[in-house]
Amino acid sequence: MKGTRYTFVLKDAPSTDISPPPVEETPITPMEVPSTPPVVPLVASSPQSIEVTLVDGKLVHIANDD
């Protein structure tokens, strides 16, 4: 739940910052973009960890089926 909230805040912040100065901050826009991606992967890493566990469980089930 916290991850989703953070994503919304991040999207709202950059949207307002890049919306007003699109041409004036052209050189700064690309620099701010890479700064946001690092935060997204961190949040996605949490859910991915859970998915990996689920996959592991399925793998074990398949091995047992064999």
Q: What is the reported pTM?
A: 0.13
Quick check: 22 and 29 in contact, CB under 8 A? yes
- Look-up of token digits 């890493």: 45
Q: Give residue 49's pLDDT.
A: 52
26-40 residue pLDDT tens: 555 555 554 444 455
Q: Give residue 20's pLDDT.
A: 52
Q: What is the mean pLDDT of residues 5-26?
A: 50
Q: What interhelical angle do 2-18 and 28-65 show, nearest 10?
A: 160
Q: Write the DSSP symbol of residue 19.
A: S
Q: Give residue 54's pLDDT.
A: 54
